[in-house]
Chains A and B, each alone.
Chain A
């Protein structure tokens, strides 16, 4: 299994809603990532989890809250988002972070629209 699975594929939410994005991988990877991608732009790193611990937080607003319940799962909890947060949210994983981690495997993404 070389897949990173993300749900939901599409999400529309109001600025007062609370929702969560979910990501799952069963490749035994110990590093998992959240990226944000706006149209026609490169992916921007948001968070890195290494061995289920948050290792990098790229100054992301607190309305985004990551969670790594176990080595296979990664969640992104969303609350009080702004319309400018509308984007494709990509989950990714790699064997481990740092060193010769090799390939970054991306999920298909969750397309978020904030009204």
Chain B
């Protein structure tokens, strides 16, 4: 089955700096890669996703890049703000289906004021 590795497990950055979280996946058939943000005590929420037919997608301060050859994808957050503090999960699935999502172990992002 699919295996998703996520690094780092904890990331502390100064407010205003950029944050990068990296994931690798094992199954070359995976073609859908969402990122979820989960604040303490709240539900996971989709913040951005990418499909294997594109290499990069951007939404304001958030961007995701995908390297299919190397089987890794990354989340980039620029100009970080205190409200970006949360746990971020990457995931991968085949067929673009939500039912096949395999999650990474999560990154606790801490924004230092």
Report A's interface with B, CB cutoff 8 A. Answer: 31, 33, 40-43, 45, 48, 50, 55-56, 90, 92, 94, 97-109
Contacts and interface: CB of A to CB of B under 8 A. Distances in A.
Contacts of B43: 90, 106-109
A104 B98 contact: yes
A98 B96 CA distance: 6
A97 B101 CA distance: 11
Contacts of A40: 87, 106, 108
5 contacts: A45-B99, A94-B98, A97-B98, A102-B98, A104-B46
A33 to B, nearest CB: 7
Contact of B49 (A48, A55, A56, A103): A103
B105 A99 contact: no
Interface of B: 32, 34, 42-46, 49, 51, 87, 89, 95-101, 103-106, 108
Contacts of B32: 100
A45 B52 CA distance: 23
Given A100-B96, A103-B49, A109-B43, 7 more contacts: A42-B89, A42-B103, A45-B101, A97-B99, A98-B99, A101-B98, A101-B99
Contacts of A92: 98
B106 A42 contact: yes
Given A43-B44, A108-B43, A103 B34 contact: yes
Contacts, number: 65
A48 B101 CA distance: 11
Nearest to A91: B43
Contacts of A99: 95-97
Nearest to B108: A40
B99 A43 contact: no
A42 B98 contact: no
Given A41-B105, A42-B106, A45-B101, A98 B44 contact: no
